[in-house]
A and B are shown apart, each in its own frame.
Chain A
Amino acid sequence: MEYKSPAEKGPNSQTGRVPAASLAENVQYMKDQLQSPEDLLIKSIVMAAGQKGAVACIDGLVDKQLKVQILQTLMQERLSIDSAGAKSNEAEQGAEEGDGSGDGMPVEAGKIPVQDARYSTDWDDILLSILTGDTALFVEGAKEVLLLGSKGWKSRAVEEPQTETIIRGPRDGFTEDIRTNTALLRRRVKDVNLRFESFRIGRRGRKDVIVAYLNGVVNPQLVEEVKRRITTIDIDDPEGSGYIEQWITDRYWSPYPQILNTERPDKVAGAIMQGKVALLIDGTPFQLIMPIMLSSFIQSPEDYYQNWILSSVLRILRVISAFVALFLPGLYIALLEYHHGLLPSKLAFSIAGTREGVPFPAVVETFLMETTLELLREAGIRLPKPIGQTIGVVGGLVIGEAAVTAGIVSPVMVVVVAVTAIASFAIPSYGFAVSIRLLRFGIMLAAAIFGLYGIVLALIMNCIHLANLKSFGVAYTGPLAPLRLGDWRDFIIRVPVMNMVKRPAILETMDEVRINTDDQGEKNK
């Protein structure tokens, strides 16, 4: 596998260091470099031909069965290495060295029953391979080292995604293992044009990152831009997808996420099919999709699995819920502190009645309750799972009820807080829901200072910001602000699948058509 790496050499790089011909020397060097930890397994072997050798690997990173197979093969008769075989091998591999004094690897890679085997003469490469789960074969008298792919470690099974559950649709989710993830994606996109481009990022962490896209569909400029941004990442270890997301995002000051993260392979596959680019990152189940628009946050893969009317209604509901989650507490403040005439009379009287005896002004009350709610949420995440859910549900109810009975807050406030919380849970994207939670407090502050006028000001500021945002060159306000009426087929309303003929025009894909219209079908015949 060829890696394009921005940090070609790690900080530990011993540039140019080449294995010696002596087996003992090599083994010793390796032990020195890694300080012979307990999980470094070095086994000295005598091969069938009588040659001495050593096999090195890291315990836990290699497939035990595969390793036994390798050892068996090396030590069995079948792999008798005659001098002629070694010579020919030498001729192939060590042609440049030319001296023919047995510097080359006498074992032919093709005779070892592993899928992935290669020769190396670079200590950096050898050590890194060992650390990523390969098995290295040293042979007495050979300067070359044979690296045998024997990766195999304990990884979590494919499970249902934790953060994005849906009713109807596939239940598998990405795992921390990038191989599993690429497999999950391949199983969905069986197109020969599906491209995986590998990168290795991080001077010390050496994280595998794969840029996945559909060649011939995706806008090539987009792919170039994604790759360019990835190569700028120069950090010791980009842990998880968050680091990479923040590094390559367009505007890191914005509260709005400009890259979508998801645990769902079907979501990634759908995005790739649309002409977007996905980043698969080793060590995290959260993969990245780019570019995205604001509308991506109210869309769920389920929308495409269900009847289009239902999906459209649900999307409208999500839009409403986003607005409710953003504005409701702010509106509550504005209406109770400034605009009492805007409430229906009966509601005004009953709110005034329930607020009688509440010691705090509505602003303080709202901030108090919203903060409590955020506290509960945060605590709910930290707590062990079974307790966490109980705290989330019961804690809210109990605290709300108790606060009302104690006369600290009014019952209407509890309703507002509860509705806001529920509304924010209805948003399919966790990242967006978090942004809204954050902005909500800003809106509340604006409402506390200027009332409805403040809310309108905050809304305008938000709109200006959103209109300015871009995600990898694509306008964030989706098909709305640069008006692309064709894209409205899959915006807030999702039209029947047969009518979604074209890919989003805003993505400027190379292949625009998703569904063969009649005359094209004729041509194909």
Chain B
Amino acid sequence: MRIRSRRRIAFLFVASSIALSGCWDRVEIDQRGFIVGVGVDAVIQEVDESSAEEESGSTPSGEQTNSASNKKQNKKAKYKVTYQVVTPSGMKAENANAQPTAAYFHLTVEGTTFSTMEANLAQRMSRAPFFEHLKVLIFSEAVARRPGDFAEAIDYFLRDSQMRRSTKVMVTPNKASEILSTQPPGERLPSAYLELVSSNGANSSRILPHTRIGEVQESLLKNKSFGIQTVSNGSRTYSTLNGTAVFSGRSNRLIGFLDGRETAGLNFLRDSIKGGHIEFPYGDEGRGVFIVQRMTRRMRVSFGKDGLPAFDYHIEVQGSLNEAYQIPDTLSEKTLYRMDEYVGQSIKQLIESAIVKLQKQYRCDVIELADYMSRKHHRWWSKHRGQWERGDDLFSQVPIHVQVKAHIHRTGNINISEE
């Protein structure tokens, strides 16, 4: 008897644990509102209201702007967030005759906290917002520049359990919603498009390696300066990924941009060049284009009399000649050496322009010298940690010497195109 009743109780335990806890978070995949891109803009009072109204009617992709939120809320609102939601039926490969439906639509919500905005979103969508497939997070310059706002905004995208640390972060000097509306022909989702472009570093030296949100948090925690990819020129057909948004470790906010050339220089310094081209002059008239294929970077630190470290960069670049104008026989040894020389100079110029801007103008150590010092010269670093970017501002004073050697390994299929 006793055994039997015990068995009965055991069975009840098992059955109830299954019945009570099973299926609790079951959601059908077609009931998810996949959000693939989020654009965060700053709210500009009053002016924004009317423009938003216009937008909602005119955009063909079914962009809907939240104009329903009342003015009281609007006054307090800090962010205007555009969510890119996938329309799965538009993602299906359809037969040629059918009118292609849009693969996404936009919802714009204003508010101060992201969770409230997400709740607002849920009130308007038939499918609950789902962030696990979030690809890109775009901040407008205004949000990134306001002190405290950037870190505050990024907190939600790190803290929520649906968020992934691999989401790419970008900064735009334009409006984030415009960037999100880019839809080149052939691409169904702007966010997927942006994600693909962001990893095109192998084809262009002007693209910073993509920044994951997890890496951004690491930098924020370490109070160190960092760069984020910049996306600009938001239009219907394309956006340009070019340049770097420099975030200062002192204030954790955006402090300025590096343009494409300076970004290339930064990439050389950080050993993150995967490819790309270098235009170089040849003599007075000639010009050529050098394609980077491989680079090696060696750096060395020497301490001067004043105890300041001086950095020596030895950069060796190998690549091929892809274009030549008014350059004599590219196969002759003399020309080759001269070209190597010119390429080296051009690269050095790129690098130095980046160094000057970072050291003198922004005073932000995006080059990651701080990391190097903390790893290789930890004793020195632990003494001067507080003086690097703040206080004495050592970073802006340390000498950085750059030596570049370029080798053209291949000059292409021809040696001269015209006599």
Looking at the assembled complex, report how far the CB atom of A410 sits from the nearest CB atom of chain B, in whole angstroms.
9
Looking at the assembled complex, report how far the CB atom of A427 sits from the nearest CB atom of chain B, in whole angstroms.
30
CA A345 to CA B103, docked complex, whole Å: 13
Q: Of A338, A346, A348, which is in contact with the most chain B CB atoms at under 10 Å from its CB?
A: A348
Q: Which residues of A contact B90 (CB under 8 A)?
A: 353
A110-147: contact bitstring with B at CB < 8 Å (1 yes, 0 no)?
Answer: 00000000000000000000000000000000000000
B414 within 8 A of A: no
The answer to whether B29 and A348 have CB atoms under 8 Å apart is yes
Looking at the assembled complex, report how far the CB atom of A409 sits from the nearest CB atom of chain B, in whole angstroms.
13
- Which secondary structure characterizes the binding site on chain A? helix
The answer to whether B32 and A352 have CB atoms under 8 Å apart is yes
A351 within 8 A of B: yes
Binds A, one of B129-137, B221-229, B302-310: B129-137
Q: Which residues of B contact A362 (CB under 8 A)?
A: 28-29
CA A362 to CA B28, docked complex, whole Å: 7
The answer to whether A356 and B28 have CB atoms under 8 Å apart is no
The answer to whether A350 and B91 have CB atoms under 8 Å apart is yes
Q: Could you jot down 26 A-B contacts, CB within 8 Å?
A: A337-B26, A337-B27, A337-B29, A338-B27, A340-B29, A340-B132, A340-B133, A345-B34, A345-B135, A348-B29, A348-B34, A349-B86, A349-B91, A349-B133, A350-B88, A352-B34, A352-B86, A352-B91, A353-B91, A353-B92, A355-B28, A355-B29, A362-B29, A449-B18, A450-B22, A451-B26
Question: Contacts A340-B132, A353-B89, A354-B92 given: A345-B36 contact, CB under 8 Å?
Answer: yes
Question: Contacts A350-B91, A352-B88, A353-B90 given: A345-B192 contact, CB under 8 Å?
Answer: yes
Residues 39-84 of B at the A interface (beta carbon under 8 Å): none
How many pairs of A and B residues are in contact by the CB < 8 Å rule?
74
Q: Of B21, B28, B29, B32, which is in contact with the most chain A CB atoms at under 10 Å from its CB?
A: B29
The interface size bin for chain A is: 20 to 34
Q: Which residues of A contact B88 (CB under 8 A)?
A: 349-350, 352-353, 355-356
Residues of B bordering A, CB below 8 Å: 18, 21-23, 25-30, 32, 34, 36, 86, 88-93, 130, 132-133, 135, 162, 164, 192
A341 within 8 A of B: yes
Q: Which residues of B contact A324 (CB under 8 A)?
A: none
CA A350 to CA B192, docked complex, whole Å: 14
Looking at the assembled complex, report how far the CB atom of B33 sits from the nearest CB atom of chain A, in whole angstroms.
10
Looking at the assembled complex, report how far the CB atom of A333 sits from the nearest CB atom of chain B, in whole angstroms.
10
Query: Which residue on A lies nearest to B164, using beta carbons?
Result: A341
The answer to whether B30 and A358 have CB atoms under 8 Å apart is yes
A442-475: contact bitstring with B at CB < 8 Å (1 yes, 0 no)?
Answer: 0000001111001000000000000000000000
The answer to whether A361 and B28 have CB atoms under 8 Å apart is yes
Q: Which residues of B contact A350 (CB under 8 A)?
A: 88, 91-93
Looking at the assembled complex, report how far the CB atom of A431 sits from the nearest CB atom of chain B, in whole angstroms.
29
Looking at the assembled complex, report how far the CB atom of A343 sits from the nearest CB atom of chain B, in whole angstroms.
8
Looking at the assembled complex, report how far the CB atom of B409 sits from the nearest CB atom of chain A, in whole angstroms.
38
A416 within 8 A of B: no
Query: Which residue on A lies nearest to B19, using beta carbons?
Result: A449
Q: Which residues of A contact B29 (CB under 8 A)?
A: 335-337, 340, 348, 351-352, 355, 362
Q: Which residues of A contact B86 (CB under 8 A)?
A: 349, 352
In the A-B complex, list the 10 residue pairs whose CB atoms are closest, starting with the nearest: A341-B132, A353-B88, A449-B22, A352-B88, A353-B92, A349-B91, A355-B30, A345-B133, A336-B29, A353-B91
Looking at the assembled complex, report how far the CB atom of B37 sits from the nearest CB atom of chain A, in whole angstroms.
11
CA A346 to CA B162, docked complex, whole Å: 18
Query: Which residue on B lies nearest to A342, using beta carbons?
Result: B132
Query: Which residue on B lies nearest to A341, using beta carbons?
Result: B132
CA A451 to CA B23, docked complex, whole Å: 8
